[in-house]
Structure 1
Amino acid sequence: MINSLDDRKDDLLVAIERFQLVAKATRDVIWDWDLVNSTVWWNEGIQQNFGHSPQDLQKGPQSWYDHIHPDDQERVVQKIHQVIEQGEPHWSDFYRFRRANGEYAHVHDRGYTIIVDGKPVRMVGSMLDITEQLRLEKERAESEASLKFAMEAAQLGTWNFDPFTKKIITNQRCRELYGNPDEEVLDYEIVSRYIHPDDKERARDATIASLDPKIRAPYDIRYRTIGAKDRVLRWLHCSGQAYFTDGGMPYRFAGISRDITDEVINREKVEWADKQAAMTIEGSGAGSFLVNSKTDEIIYSPTMAKILTGHEDRHVTRHIFIEHVHPEDLPIREKAYEVAAETGELRYEARFVWDDASIHWVRVIGQYMFDSHGEATSLSGIVMDITDRVHSEQRIKTSEEHLRTLIQQAPVATALFVGRDFVIDIPNAAMLKLWGKGDSVIGKPLLEALPELREQPFVEILKRIYETGDAHSEQGARGDIVIDGELQTFYYDYTYKPLRNSEGQIYAILDMAVDVTEQVKSRHALEKSEEKYRQLVNDLERRVQQRTAELNQTNAELINSNNNLQQFAYAASHDMQEPLRKIQSFGSRLQSLYSKQLDENGVFMLNRIQDASKRMSLMIDDLLAYSRLATRDTDFQPVGLKEMVSHILADLEIAIQEQKTSVIVEDLPEIHGNRPQLTQLMQNLLSNAIKYRKPDAPSEIRLLSREATAEEVLSIAKPLEGFSYARIVVSDNGIGFDEIYLDRIFQMFQRLHGRSEFSGSGIGLALCKKVVQNHHGHITARSTVGEGSDFIVFLPLANKK
């Protein structure tokens, strides 16, 4: 008896130990409910799964009740107590259990009742978190429902072919695509009967290639079917895939079929329409294109190639649309493509630069085509040369602006009446004053702005001009106008002149009027006014004649001034140089013979005299050289700059060595010009580049040359007709200058540095400018202080275009 009791205790200890081991080993929540003492024990799974520490939970069943979702609590508690009270062996339920973070988890809870002497004393159970499982099941159900809906919405037929039995399982839509065959069970031979005879072999080859273990080609084919019952011809797009065993045997071949009959018919219609449109487009002088959006391949007409490049045989790629667009119009093109990405419609007008550098206005109109996924597949459109239209519009705009300016500045009352409603446009200040209505009349029909004209003849006259096109004028015509609320009578000299557009149609009438009220009221006043008018005309003619005489006199004075300048230059060369040479000669003799007898101050003053005389001599020489440049187009012949520069560098060799200057000369062209003047030009530019070096850095000078572009030639005031121009650059790394002084450096006697820093007369660059002007060229410079200068000269090339 004792042994039996001990054995039972041992068994109980072993069972308890096993229970505790299981509770620790599993990740499930294990709970033990002592029904007698009303306590509940939880394993560590309660913390791992739900974040609750077993030590923090209450000992009683309330720790469980309080964590059940309020909507589930009554049902779950009632059911478990019913199981306990009825002594049933087990209990299970699904409900929501609150985690430590406040969220609720879906759980599957199971409990087993321990009964002693017919009375339940304990219940042991496990709680499983099934939240993720429920979520996955819900997503799978939703995915299956979505797939089914998509298949039905897309009207896709599904099929599953068994390679062993040759049987085909399809949905109802797939049977419809074959005309609803009578056979309940379909096989490959039955389906093949309804494939168009011309497509059967191709369809069979595609199936064989997909089922071949060595090829395993994707099944993607389009073919026609003839309906089993309705005999309707349909185009199908079938795609699928074969599945193979590890041994390489096909065990399943499944896929979908889609009716593409409308797509094929529409594509054929589009192709036919495209051909008709292309013929129409080419007949209108426009060019057509079609761009494959995926490959950028472009199909285009010869007309389009000519419109974009100037040559019908030019090979066109999509990049031509970018390369030939005028650089200033590239933003227009980019903006148009941004809009096209949203709307599908491409439309812009821009300048295109032809291969011959001529500029043409082109209108580009295109439309994107999209596939079923909304991705662009192609861009088709046309291009039109609208250069004539743009130029015409620009001329019209210029003409309109000119007309508006003339009207605004006209000395008489002037306005436009636009359209058959005679809408008032551009009335000048004189006309507004004449009407006495202010600018509120602008943009209104004439009878709305001046209703008092309704019973007067002016509106009928305007209507007649629109019908006949004949101008009308009157002198002293009566007009009754309301001014300041009072109807007053005035008399006008006026003219109605019709204005026509480019198509010859009348679009407006120009009204020019003069208030002659006082002249009509008093003939004498009128005669005086006419006399005054004649006097004004005569006075104007007299003033014109006087101004002409003044201009002639000014021109003569200018010629005389130029002659005086040449005479002064001659005097400077001969008469002034002689006493200056004596000063220099006697100064030199004083220095050599009497310098020891002079004190330090005397030697200093003698040296200053010598320096001043040298500068004076240099200035006289430069003035003489400048005065000799008065003539243009004299003895112009081909002049080789390369040979000339070589001689100049030889003359400047000592200065180059003293300044430690490196001179690099590239290939220089032949210039149409005067050799002595060009020599002065290049010698002055090179001398300046050598002189204005940085004292603490090696000096380098480069002579560069290339042919000037058409835009660069436009910067020349009066270029020689029939000549191309060279762009010659003398570049140095010297001290540079601030470009705000760019205009100043080419003026006479202008210096940016003191004589103590750099010697010179301030005439050198003025002489350079004069030489360039004599050669119908242009000179300018670019510079940065401390980094050097580029002097740029444009001169006519020896060879004509």
Structure 2
Amino acid sequence: MNQHWERKAGLPVEESNEAVRIQLAQLEDTHRRVKQDLLRQQEVASQLAQSVRELEIRNLELSAGRDQALAELEEWNLTESVLRQKTEELARSNQDLEQFASLAAHDLQEPLHSIQVFVDVLRVKHSLSLNEQAQGYLDRVTKAASRMQQLIEGLLLYSRINAPGSKGESLSLGQIVKEILSDLGAQIDELEAEIHVGDLPMVHGEAVHVRQLLQNLIGNALKFHKPGVAPVLHISGMMIQDRRHTGPGKPGSLCQIEIQDQGIGIPAEYLDKIFGMFKRLHRKDEYEGTGIGLAVCKRIADQCGGAISVRSTPGAGSTFTVTLPG
């Protein structure tokens, strides 16, 4: 048989067997490499499938996020549109209200002037024929007319704060306070008031408004003193930084002004109410006033891009803090 194979293959049997073993080994090696390649390809395919699944999930998340962002943007645009509309309506309403207040106050002045004129005529021409009771009535009418005049002037001032005007200028607080104290000199001397004024910085605003604001606060500090005790006032100012401020003046720069007194103080339950219109805490026979002064102060501070606040202790005094653009 072996001889027959040798004759047929042309090789000795041993050599033929060796050749077969080599071929088998090569086939096994090739099979092993192919199997390894297949395993690697399967692993790569599995990784690709996993990546595809992750990309699909990420795509779904991005689509959902995009849809949510579009919905929020649409809602924001709608809200912004409604807010813009309401702001315009409020501006028109405020303008109408201011115009009405101005016209009403202006129209009230004519009959009030007539009342004051006729009272003066009665007092000058008929004072001898009026008894003591009638003279008392005239005094009461005169005082009521005077309070009405102050009220009308306050309403006119309040309504004009929003009126178009200049964009403001750099102002010396020290000079403004000096002029106010000069104007109030007679009252200060009468009360024997002690007023301490520190270094005051520059502010940005309209001179007439800033002056009115400070005059109201200083006037109140003098008026609401303890009976029988001379008023003591401290007026100070300093520059502060607030990044939220982007309005008039230097960006982020505000001037903080404090007016401190040692007067009768304000009860805590009224601290958030005193800046409203016609808010009075005392009877007219105790302290004169219209209840408009602090409302004017708040409106001016708001218009200037600032703010006003108060802290107080009944019986110990109050400190009003005003921030204005620097």
**With structure 2 as the length reference, what TM-score do the two structures score?**
0.72
C-alpha displacement at 1:556, in angstroms?
Answer: 4.9
Alpha-carbon separation, structure 2, partners of 1:627 and 1:469: 65
Contact 1:684–1:764 at 8 Å: present in 2 too?
A: yes
After superposition, residues 439-450 of structure 1 pair within 5 angstroms as none
What does residue range 592-607 of structure 1 map to in structure 2 within 5 Å? 592-607=124-139
8 Å contact kept, 2:245–2:252 = no
Cross-structure match for 1:675: 207
Distance 1:685 1:753, change over 3 A: same
CA contact (8 A) 1:681 1:771 kept: yes
By how many angstroms is 1:610 displaced? 1.5
Q: How does 1:88-487 map to 2 (within 5 A)?
A: 468-472=53-57
Q: Which amino acid in 2 is paired with 1:627?
A: S
User: Is residue 280 of structure 2 the alignment partner of residue 761 of structure 1?
Assistant: no
**Which structure: greater helix fraction?**
2
Q: What is the 5 A alignment of 1:330-729?
A: 468-472=53-57, 497=61, 552=85, 554-572=86-104, 574-631=106-163, 634-708=166-240, 710=241, 713=242, 722-729=251-258
Distance in 1 (CA, whole Å) between partners of 2:155 and 2:112 is: 15
Whole-Å separation in 2 of the counterparts to 1:699 and 1:468? 81
Aligned to 2:310, the other structure's residue is in SS state strand
TM-score, length-scaled by structure 1: 0.31
Aligned partners of 1:640 and 1:722: how far apart in 2?
A: 19
Change (3 A) 1:467 1:607: same
Cα distance between partner residues in 2 of 1:466 and 1:625 = 72
Q: What is the percent sequence identity of the aligned residues?
A: 36
Structure with bigger strand share is 1
Unaligned stretches of 5+ in structure 2? 1-48, 66-70
Q: Secondary structure at the match of 2:263?
A: coil
2: CA distance, partners of 1:597 / 1:633? 52
Superposition RMSD in Å:
3.4
Structure 1 position 777 matched with structure 2 position 309: no
In the aligned structure 2, how far is the partner of 1:549 from the partner of 1:714? 28
Q: How far apart, CA to CA, are the structure 1 residues paired with 2:297 and 2:107? A: 26
Distance in 2 (CA, whole Å) between partners of 1:790 and 1:655 is: 21
1:717–1:638 CA distance, 2 compared to 1 (3 A): closer
Q: Which has the higher contact order (CA 8 A, sep 6+)?
A: 2
Q: CA deviation at 1:675?
A: 0.7
Amino acid at match of 1:682: L
The separation in 2 between residues aligned to 1:789 and 1:715, in whole angstroms, is 27
Shift of 1:620: 0.9
Q: Deviations along 1:554-590, whole A, 9 cap, x unmatched? A: 5554343333334334424543212211111111222
Over alpha carbons, which structure has the higher Rg?
1
Deviations 1:43-81 (A, max 9, x none): xxxxxxxxxxxxxxxxxxxxxxxxxxxxxxxxxxxxxxx
Contact 1:632 1:774 (8 Å CA) reproduced: no
Task: Give CA-to-partner distance per residue, 1:84-104, whole Å, 9 cap, x none.
Answer: xxxxxxxxxxxxxxxxxxxxx
Letter in 1 for 2:173: L
Deviations 1:314-367, CA, capped at 9 Å, x for gaps: xxxxxxxxxxxxxxxxxxxxxxxxxxxxxxxxxxxxxxxxxxxxxxxxxxxxxx
TM-aligned CA deviation for residue 771 of structure 1: 1.2
Listed one character per residue, the Cα deviations across residues 109-145 of structure 1 (whole Å, up to 9, x for unaligned) are xxxxxxxxxxxxxxxxxxxxxxxxxxxxxxxxxxxxx
Partner of 2:267: 738
Residues 680 and 656 (structure 1), Cα distance of their counterparts in 2 relative to 1, 3 Å cut: same
Residue aligned with 2:61, SS: strand
1:628–1:748: structure 2 CA closer, same or farther, 3 Å change rule? same
Cα separation, 1, equivalents of 2:322 and 2:305: 11
SS at match of 1:655: helix
2:160 counterpart letter in structure 1: R
Listed as ranges, the gaps of 5+ residues in structure 1 are 1-463, 474-494, 500-508, 511-536
- Alignment-mate amino acid for residue 748 of structure 1: M
